Each structure stands twice: as structure tokens, then as C-alpha cells.
Amino acid sequence: MTVSSEAAEARQPASVQEPIRRFALLGNPNTGKTTLFNRLCGLRAKTANYPGVTADARVGRLELGGVGVIELTDLPGLYSLDLELPEAEFCRDAIAGRVSRCGEPHALLAIADASNLRRNLALVLEVIALGKPTVIALNMIDEAERRALRIDVTDLERRLGCPVVAINARNGSGIGGLLSAVKTLATAPTLPSIQVPVSEDDRSELVEELVSAVTTRDESVRPKGRVTDWLDRVFVHPVLGMGVFAAVMSALFMVIFILAQHPMGWIESAFSWLGGAVSSVVSEGVGRDFLVDGVIGGVAGTVVFLPQICLLFFLLSILEDTGYLARAAFLADGVLRRFGLPGTAFVPLLSSHACALPGIMSARLIPDPRERLATILVAPFMSCSARIPVYVLLITLLFPGGGWRAGLAFVGCYVLGAVVALLTAILVRRTVLTGGSKALLIELPSYKLPSLRNALLTTWDKGTLFLRNAGTVILTICIVLWALSAFPRSDAPPEVATLREASAVAASEGRDQVSAELSVAAGRLENRAALRYSIAGRIGVAAEPVFAPLGYDWQVSIAVLTSFAAREVFVSTMLVMLGLEEDGDVENPGLVRRVRDAERDDGSPVFAPATTGSLLVFYVLAMQCLPTLAVTRRAAGGWKWALIQLFYMTAVAYVAAWVTFLIASQFI
Amino acid sequence: MKPTLQPTAAETAARTLVRPADASTGFVSTPICRLPRNATGLIDLDGLEAGDRRIATAIGLVSHAPARLARAGRNCIVEVHNTRIAVTRALAERLCLRLANAN
């Protein structure tokens, strides 16, 4: 049964008695729906998190004098309510009140693009057929005029039998009239008087009739379109377009990669300062460790991702607004389709080079659920910025002199990640996520100047959504992992007391530098003993046989396990295990030499070349990032796919590292 | 010199979609991937499966609507009523334009 026929059966009387407090906003994509929603609700909106669905809906509040607060739900853009697509299904459920925590809307606000009235009216008629009080916002009326189209809004309103208001959501013109119409409908609700035919053919005829009646073309005005034609000749050209695409995406990647480093550094410094401040106030013990390492460390581990996420969504919003993003997806489709992924997957995959979190979050741009899931599953294979400290340490150990071989190894890490991601995409699309790829049919919106206001509001929304959803999970996991690394507590080894006594003696003799060095050495020894005695340490020791085929001893095994939450932790844990500076610079030659000289219990080197190569491959391919797991859970709608992703990536990394160790052991 | 490409199986199949001129109307339907840029004609969705046809109609590619091929090739851009719609290869081989038969 179609939506229209369902609604026709449920048609209500022409007046509705209940006061209207909840509106749903619907419209085709690229009609300025989000711009209108942002103009009406601004910061009083948040993206709703509906369990079990991947479509997002934003809920905002609108204060109307004399009426009170109106709740406005911005539903996903869609072309028809009758299609079997996720966004259409979600809209049908939301309008019928079948989405949990999303109340049934009392009335509908449909937005239509005046410059493309024919297609937009088709959806408007479907909306009217739902049998709810409806207001139509006719947006982009200026764009229609530029295309030499004149629309008789009064006549359209008369024919549809419901309020129609011409607006320009970008500059706010007509918004007052729209609010008045919403207010009138909220106080005296009425249903549209037009009878919408049930048959699709009859409805198409009605659309044609309406367009012919209310639209006139001004023949004296030459419609524009040549600029779009010219730009499209460049932007979607098989060769030129790929060049522009590569340049735009590289710029996007570089901006996220480079620009985010500064605020990330500030955030780390701020939390480091806060940790220090708390340490100086709270007395030593479990409580202080919990606050500093567990809570503050956990919050820092969450908030530090914010700059990359905000930058990505800000830039994506700008690109989407200009109309370029749709062209880029079209262009990338030709390449990615060979691997079972759609063109729209290029944004998540590229963004994942900066950080998998925003990459996975942006996978919502992909309409097909199987293609979206496949993209989410492979995105963390892309080498993110958190892998860099590990790459730097291990590559410096492998190629101490640096040079072209080190550079090649560095590039090789990125290539290996991307190749395995694409091969995995083929594998999952041919096994667990089978089904023909959806042919890409994508509307290319006209080129426009981007809206800064929209971009900022989107950034705010995505940032807060990340903190609310992923942040809470990440914080919890960080605290649990801290507890595993901190308990049970152990007494310091006798050598620590000896070193501290020697430090005190040196201090009393005025040899401050010696005293400080002895004190630091005591601290390192104590940390190393505490970590080995902790649950995580014991697991690491117990897991040594598991990692032995890869060439890792118990110290490396502990570092691999503790970096399960965040791969960059590998470096600091390794330095603690080797009794070196915990926050050491991995590019410092002296430090690198000491790491390379570190010995196992039997006197053999901890970082033999084969072990180092194996570790490098392991860190290229292993997930080793709990925040990614949390975000996958949210994006994939549950833990099932998140756990599959974790186990698959770990297994691939393990096997690849094992093979690397075997081969390297033969030749090095 | 433009390289000569061997037709893929899909392209060969697409060629069979070219339907002969309708004797009564004098129109011939041709897959858009075989048409030159700026070719104009009426949208013909008969070669599409029901699901694809519904999506195409909803996005604006309505049967018998006048259209212009804004970009030719395996991946095409069709312009219908001022709206540009990108059509990838798989669909471009089955989506046709009805052109007036020159013969």
C-alpha cells in the first residue's frame, strides 16, 4: 500500500481541534531545507539519536508569540515518500509516530524549490495526501526569477488549499510570513482542501496542470545555465575533473591534518595543566590517580578528536553548499565502483586518513545501507594521524639514517592500509554484504556561494553529537582501561627506595642535577614495576605466547595490549617498559638509540629488525582504537558490526605481521 | 587520435536496447551513453527495472519529459527542466532518449 492510499483512508475532517505543537519539515534534497531549519531554530536544535536507524533527524524549538514553543523536526531530504529507500522509510515512520523518542508530528512544513517546481510539487502532493495540516515554503524564489520563471504564489495557494509562502531561506526574506502561516495553522488547524489523486499517473497530470497554471516564463530574460555548463565541463571531466578532485581533496585532507594539530595541542596542554593542577591539590593515592589518569585522561582522550571532527564537517558543509560535493561523488564513483563502493564513499575514506572517527561519521552521506556499512568497515584501515608517532618510532628503528628508504617505508604504510581497505571492500561486498551496487543517480545542484552560518551550525551540531554519543562511551572505556593498568597496586621494588635515598643524599650535598636524575630513574622503575604487576601487565605477560610468533616479547606484548584503546599509547607504554622518558620525543636520536639497544630478559634485542617490521605491519592494519569502535557501534546501529570490524582487523593485522616476521627473519 | 575501445558486454547489451523507429511517431530510443553531448530528446524509462524507474521518476527523470545530454560518455549528465542529474554507467546503458528519426 502506498503512503497516499494509507493517508486517503485515514483522512480526517477538515478541521483539527487539538492544538498544534509539533511540526515536521520535509522536502527534496538541495531545496534549502537545512538552511530553513537553521534559520528557524538556530542553536536551539540538536541531532536526534534514534536507536536502530542510521538516518539523522534534527529536532529544534521555535518560539512563537501567542502560541508558545513549537517543536520542529528536520527529516532527511527525500524525493518521494513511496520509495523503498532508508530516508523515505524513516520519514514515513517519523510522520506516523513510529520512531521511538520522536513524537508524531501534528502538522507538516513542506519546503519546495521554486526553480524546480515540477519535481518538488510531486513530493508536496504526497505530503498533502498524508492528511495533516500543511504549510508550503516556496524557497529559492530568487533563483526561479533568475531562470526567467514567474510563479503566481497566490494562485498556487488557492489551488492547493493550504498556505504557500515564498521565502529565501538564505537571506531570511519571507521568513516572517512563513512564521505567521505556521502560527495561524497552530492556533486554527485546517487541512488542505485539494483532493490528491491516489493513482501515480493522475498525480503526475495534476502536477503538470498546476505548473502550467501558476508558472509563466519571461521570454525577455535569458535563462542562465552556461556557467554551470562550463564549470561542469571542468569538474566532471574524466581527466581535468580528476585533477580538480585530487587538488580539492588534498587541500581538505591537508587542512584537517595540519590545522587541527594546533587546537589538538592546545587541548592536550590544557588537560595536562588540569591534571597537574589536580595532582597538586589532591593528595597522592588511588583517588588522585583515578581523577588525573582515569577521568581527566579519559575526557582528554575524547575531546582531543574534536578539532578534526569539527574541521571536517565545517569543510564538508562548505563543499556541499557550493554544489561541488555531488560532482566529486559522481567522479569518484567510476573508480570506487570497481571495489564495490559508491562514489560517495570517497569522503569517509579520505577523512579517515586524518582520523577514522569523522570518516565513519561522514559515511551517513552514503544512501545504500550495504555500501554504507562496507565503507564503515574498511575506513579504519586508512592510516590516520594517530598512527604517525608509531610509524615514526618503528621506521626510525628500522632505518636509523632516515633517507629515501625511510620515506618509502612511510609511504608504504599508507599504501598498505589503502590496498587492504579496498581488498576488504571487495571481500565484504562479495560475502557478507552482497547485493548489486545501486546505480548512482544523483542530482547535481546548481553552483552557489556557501553559507558560513550553515557550516558553523552544522559543525556545532556534529561536534556536540560526537561528544554526547561517542564521548560517553569513550570516557567509560578509558576509565576501565586505566583501572586495568593501575590495579592491583604494587609495592615499589627495593631498588626504588635505594635510588630515592641516593637522590635525597645528592640533594643534601647540593648536586641538584644528579638528584633529579636519580629521582626520575626511581620514578621510571616504579612505573615499570607497577605496570607489570597490574591486570593489564599480567595479561600482557600471559599473552606473550600469543604474540611470540610475531616476534614480540612480554614487554612489547604489554605495549600492544595497553595500546588497544589508542594506538599512540604504544610509544609511551614502550618507553615506560624500557625505563625511558615517558613523554620522550620519538625523533630524538639519543632516545631512539636507547630503544634500539633495549634487551630482552635473555639479552637479545627487543627490537630486532624482523620484530620491528612485524610491529609496523601490525600497527598499519590493526584497529587499536576504542573510540573508532564506539563510533562504528553508533554508525552501524549496534555492537555486532563494531565487534566484527575489531576481530577482522585484528586477525588481518596478526596474520600479516606474522608473515612479515617469517619473511623478514629469513632475510634480515 | 582517439583510441578505439573494445565494447564491454554491458555496452553490447546496451546497443541491443536501441529500438527501431516507431512507425507512427518516427522516434528512435537510444541509450544516453551512446549519444553525443547536447543531444535532445524525450526521456524513455522502458529499459529500466521497476525500482530504478521509480527512483528515476522521483528525482525528475520523468517519462516523455524533454531532456538534454549535458555531458556525454559512459557516465552522463542529463538536464531535465533545469535540473542536472548525473547518471552512472550502469544506468546510462539502459536509460534512453527518444530522438526524432533522421531517416
> B90 vs A437: CB contact, 8 Å cut-off?
yes
Q: In this structure, how many other beta carbons lie within 10 angstroms of the beta carbon of residue A490?
A: 14
A3-217, which class in CATH?
alpha beta
Instruction: Give me the pLDDT at residue A63, please.
Output: 85
Confidence grade of residue A7 (pLDDT, cut at 50, 70, 90): very low
User: In A, which residues are within 8 Å of B70 by CB distance?
Assistant: 229, 232
| Contact assignment for A441 to B83 by CB distance below 8 Å | no
Residues of chain B contacting A, Cβ within 8 Å: 51-52, 54-56, 58-62, 70-71, 73-75, 77, 81-91
Name the residue in chain B with its Cα closest to that of A234: B71
Amino acid present at A501: E
pLDDT band at A362 (very low <50, low <70, confident <90, very high): confident
Chain B partners of A217 at a C-beta cutoff of 8 Å? none
From the CA of B58, how many Å to the nearest CA of chain A? 5
Q: What angle do CA A341, A368, B71 make, to 5 degrees?
A: 65
| Cis status of the peptide bond prior to A488, with omega within 30 of 0 | yes
The SS3 assignment for A196 reads coil
Are A87 and A367 within 8 A, CB to CB? yes
With beta carbons under 8 A apart, name residues in chain B contacting A333.
75, 88
Collapse the DSSP code of A579 into the 3-class scheme (helix H, G, I; strand E, B; otherwise coil) and give the result. coil
CB within 8 Å: A115 and B82: yes
Above pLDDT 70, what percent of chain A? Answer: 88
Query: pLDDT per residue over A209-232, tens digit each?
Result: 999 999 998 777 666 667 788 888
Q: What is the mean pLDDT of residues A491-520?
A: 88
Query: What's the CATH architecture for B25-100?
Result: Roll (2.30)
Kindly determine whether residue B84 and residue A440, on different chains, have CB atoms separated by under 8 Å. no
Residues of chain A with Cβ-Cβ distance to B73 below 8 Å are: 238
**What is the residue extent of each domain of chain B?**
25-100
Give the torsion sign (CA, A243, A248, A249, A250). Answer: positive
Q: How many other C-beta atoms can be found within 10 angstroms of the C-beta atom of residue A14? A: 11
| Partner B contacted by A122 (CB < 8 A) | yes
- Residue A228 to chain B, least CA–CA distance (Å): 10
Q: Which helix (H) or strand (E) holds A45?
A: strand A45-48
Averaged over B45-60, what is the pLDDT?
90
Q: Minimal Cα distance from A119: which residue of B?
A: B60
Mean of per-residue pLDDT scores for chain A = 84
Is the Cβ pair B86, A326 closer than 8 Å? yes
Asked if A146 reaches chain B (Cβ–Cβ under 8 Å), the answer is no
- In A50-109, the residues whose Cβ lies within 8 Å of chain B are 79-80, 82-85
The larger pLDDT score, comparing residue A508 to residue A358, is at: A508
Per CB-CB distance under 8 Å, the chain B contacts of A442 are: 85-86
CA dist A221 and A248 (Å) reads 35
Position A49 scores a pLDDT of 42
Q: Is the pLDDT of residue A391 over 70?
A: yes
DSSP-derived 3-state class of residue A590: helix
Q: What is the pTM of this model?
A: 0.73
Query: Residue written as cell 514553543?
Result: A69
Chain B positions in Cβ-Cβ contact with residue A439 (cut-off 8 Å)? 52, 87-91
Taking contacts as CB-CB distances below 8 angstroms, the residues of chain B near A236 are: 71, 75, 77, 86
Q: What would the grid cell of residue A605 be?
A: 634485542
Ranges A98-102, A478-482, A492-496, B82-86, most confident? B82-86
Listed residue (A636, A608, A47) closest to A348, CA to CA? A636
The position carrying cell 554508525 is: A635
CB contact A442 to B (< 8 Å): yes
Vertex A253 angle, CA A251 and A259, to 5°? 90
Structure confidence at residue A238 as a pLDDT band (50, 70, 90): confident
Q: What percent of chain A has pLDDT over 90?
A: 29
For residue A634, name the pLDDT band (cuts at 50, 70, 90). Answer: confident
Q: What is the pLDDT, as a whole number, of residue A602?
A: 78
Q: Which three cell numbers stand for residue A142?
A: 530568487
Beta strands in A177-306, from DSSP E residues, in sequence order: 215-217
Sheet holding B27-31, edge to edge: A441-444, B83-87, B76-80, B66-71, B40-44, B96-100, B27-31
- Chain A positions in Cβ-Cβ contact with residue B66 (cut-off 8 Å): none
**CA pair distance B87, A236, nearest whole angstrom:** 12
Predicted-complex ipTM score: 0.78
Copy the grid coordinates of residue A316: 564538508
What CA–CA distance (Å, rounded) separates A564 from A286? Answer: 23
Cβ distance of B87 and A115 shorter than 8 Å: no
Tell me if chain B has a CB within 8 Å of the CB of A526.
no
Task: Note whether A116 contacts B62, CB cutoff 8 Å.
Answer: no
